[in-house]
Amino acid sequence: MLANQRREKILELLREDGSAKVHNLSKIFKVSEVTIRHDLERLEKDGFVTREHGGAFLKEVESLVRSFALINQSNMDKKVVIGIHAAGLIEEGDTIILDSGSTTTEVAKNLVGRKNLTVITNALNIALILGAEPDIEIIMTGGEFKPPTLSLTGQKAAAFFHDVHVDKLFLATAGISLRSGLTYPSLSDIVVKKAMIDVAETVYLVADSTKIGKGALASLGALSLIDFIITDSGIGKDHLQLFRDHDIKIITAQL
């Protein structure tokens, strides 16, 4: 991996976790700690991070948490359409999991006013969106707090799903490809997402079309783990046909 590619992946990880230690980054990217320190120095010089003893943290993380804002606000027009369509698949009486993320947040916004739902989530912002709804029961996982995604992660979050069963899971992702499957910037999320998938009757992946063909640091597994991909009309014909050829069910959300 070239230096600029590694720095981009480090920044993706920091935008997911908020902070990272030099020794952990060294193990993840299989380079020396000296190399990682040079990478963090460059990222600090470019204005993305603030270095601290033994690591670095995302520069805007404090303001994001105080304003309760998600860092990833790209392609929101696509995510809004996906959120509307996905919410339409949720029926009265359902027990569902809403994964953390900007697209699943749009799903949550479209559940306001709905009745007789149980929503399990690891996202603090989703819990606040739906927490005042009298006919929606909100259940939160435990786990370690990740500021940029306002979410809970790690082994404790995954352990919550032991002996749980839900009708539908709405899962987020950073990248989708036939070769790498579902990919994410952070290793800590993989165990949580696997636990979510294991307890869901039906798994819907909600992902805007810009994520198709992209990869991130950590792979969750093959696309066969999911039942449906809900995306927008921006998906290319080549990708659409490729997924269909591999018996992957695509739902194209449109207004």
Task: Tell whether 92 and 159 lie within a shared domain.
Answer: yes
The predicted pLDDT at position 161 comes to 97
In this prediction, residue 165 carries a pLDDT of 97
- Does any domain span residue 137? yes
Query: In this structure, what is the dihedral angle of CA atoms 212, 213, 219, 225, given to the nearest 10 degrees?
Result: 50
CA distances from 178 to 175, 181, 189, 205, 243 (A): 10, 5, 20, 14, 8
- Is there a single domain that holds both residue 205 and residue 240? yes
Distance CA 149, CA 152 (A): 9
Amino acid at 3: A
Cα–Cα distance, 252 to 254 (Å, whole number): 6
What per-residue confidence (pLDDT) applies to 135?
A: 96
Could you list the residue range(s) of the whole structural domain that residue 170 is in?
Answer: 76-253
Same domain for 54 and 97?
no
The answer to whether the beta carbons of residues 107 and 86 sit under 8 Å apart is: yes
pLDDT above 90 for 57: no
CATH code, 171: 3.40.50.1360
67 lies in some domain: no
pTM for the full predicted model: 0.85
Domain count, the chain: 2
Distance CA 206, CA 101 (A): 10
The CATH code of the domain that includes 33 is 1.10.10.10
CA angle 43, 44, 45 (to 5 degrees): 90
Q: Residue 71 pLDDT > 90, yes or no?
A: no
Give the pLDDT confidence score for residue 152 in this predicted structure.
95
**Does residue 234 contact residue 208 with C-beta atoms inside 8 Å?**
yes
Portion of the chain with pLDDT greater than 70, in percent: 98
- State mean pLDDT over 63-67: 74
The pLDDT tens digits for 203-222 are: 999 999 999 988 777 889 88
